[in-house]
Structure 1
Amino acid sequence: MPIDDIKPTRAGLLIVRRRMALAERVHELLSMKLDGMMLELIRLTDRAAEQRRELEDLYTGAREMAAVAAMMEGATGVLLAALSVEAVPTYAVGHKNVFGVRLPDLEPVAVKKTLDERGYGVLGTSSVIDDAADAYENLIEAIIASAELEGGVRQLLGEIERTRRRVNALEFKVIPELMEKRRFIEYQRDEMERQEWTRLRRIKKIKAKRAEKR
């Protein structure tokens, strides 16, 4: 029932009071959720920044190891070693629930490999190829971890904005309108009670006068 359709009766007053209690409870819960999400956002943002710095260091190291491997084995040797890997690195997508928000949970798949899984002959290559492969596997894992954190930050930012709008709507529109409606109904009921009391008093006086005439 729209708030404007609520009648200034006892039943209408009960409806408004129930709605106010519900709106205040929802506002309290959403405010707690908003605070929790803000703390989680700060935590994720700090971790994402740290992960990004680590990612940059791993990228620099991997490039250096690839350059050393190319110098030792030649660009063709490095390319052949890379092409011999059959299992392509990827990730599995899952979700985790944080304050009712579905955050991405990325799990590396076929990233870390043993020497046998890499496909190239151990005897035909030097250890620099293995070192370069290790460096790039660590880099790929860091990329996946960074993507998970940054995806979580984006999801939280979107949910925080939606929750803030709901909190503001309750705080500055819904609850004030209900309070105003409650005051209006209480005023109307008080006015009706005063009118009824005045009417009863007038009737009592009329009855008293009639009794005196008898």
Structure 2
Amino acid sequence: MAAHDVTPNRSVLLDLKKRIKLTQGGYKILKMKRDGLIIEFFEVLEKARKMREGVSSDYESAMEKITIARAVEGEIAVKSAAYALKADPQVKLGSKSIMGMMVPKVEAEKIHTNMVDKGYGVISTSAYIEEAAAAFEKLLDTLVRAAEVETTMKKLLDEIEKTKRRVNALEFKIIPELKEAERFVKFSLEEMDRENTTRLKHLKRKGAAEE
């Protein structure tokens, strides 16, 4: 809003005062939201760091155990156990609120399977295959939880950037423009008051001279 685009009158001045008050209130709320989101982001960032370490560690462990199982039992035995698996892991997607923003909630189901769902018997497989299977189940569970944290972190970062843009727009553009318009209207009204006062004095002097 350019200051000279407004009509300098009392009602406009009152409207500007109201708008400035409301805008400043919204600015304070957005700043609080931005600060809260930043705090939440760093907490999630720390979780993400730990989750990445967990994924790396679980991956190395799973690859080590599957390598041992292949070396001891052979490729065919390992693949046979994998193909016999009856379990059907599921990923359940939901949502939760953080600072009024919806973020994904990811839950894994049927990852850790019992012996019946594995589809193969204890006798027909060795401890090496069981350990490899358990390691990959653990890795899958960690990956699912990591996916939730990583997605939440990205959404938080996007929301922070969006909120920062709105805060900056209010602080450096909208509020200064409203205040400039208010100053212009005040100055114009004061000028009109001075002109009216001068005109009245002139008319009084003229009237007195004519008497």
TM class by smaller structure: over 0.9
Give the 5 Å matches for 1:61-140: 61-140=61-140
For the pair 1:152 / 2:149, whether they are aligned, the reply is no
Percent identical residues? 36
TM-score with structure 2 setting the length:
0.92
Alpha-carbon distance in structure 2 between the residues aligned to 1:198 and 1:3: 26
Which amino acid in structure 1 is aligned with residue 18 of structure 2? R
What do the CA deviations read for 1:60-102 (whole angstroms, capped 9, x no partner)?
1111111222233221111111111123323111111111222
Give the 5 Å matches for 1:36-75: 36-75=36-75
How many residues were matched structurally? 211
TM-score with structure 1 setting the length:
0.91
Following TM superposition, by how much is the alpha carbon of 1:127 offset from its aligned partner in structure 2, in angstroms?
Answer: 2.3
Alpha-carbon distance in structure 2 between the residues aligned to 1:88 and 1:63: 22
**Structure 2 unaligned spans of 5+:** none
Q: 3-state DSSP class of the match of 1:77?
A: helix
Cα RMSD of the aligned pairs, angstroms, is 1.8
Q: Larger relative contact order (C-alpha < 8 A, sep ≥ 6)?
A: 2
Give the 5 Å matches for 1:15-30: 15-30=15-30
* CA 52–124 in structure 1, closer or farther in 2 if over 3 Å, else same: same
1:196 equivalent in structure 2:
196
**Structure 1 unaligned spans of 5+:** none
What do the CA deviations read for 1:35-80 (whole angstroms, capped 9, x no partner)?
1111111111111111111111111111111122223322111111
Alpha-carbon distance in structure 2 between the residues aligned to 1:138 and 1:189: 74
What do the CA deviations read for 1:86-120 (whole angstroms, capped 9, x no partner)?
23323111111111222121101221111111111
Alpha-carbon distance in structure 1 between the residues aligned to 2:132 and 2:105: 27
Alpha-carbon distance in structure 2 between the residues aligned to 1:7 and 1:131: 80
Q: 3-state DSSP class of the match of 2:96?
A: strand
Q: 3-state DSSP class of the match of 1:168?
A: helix
Q: 3-state DSSP class of the match of 1:93?
A: strand
Following TM superposition, by how much is the alpha carbon of 1:2 offset from its aligned partner in structure 2, in angstroms?
Answer: 8.6
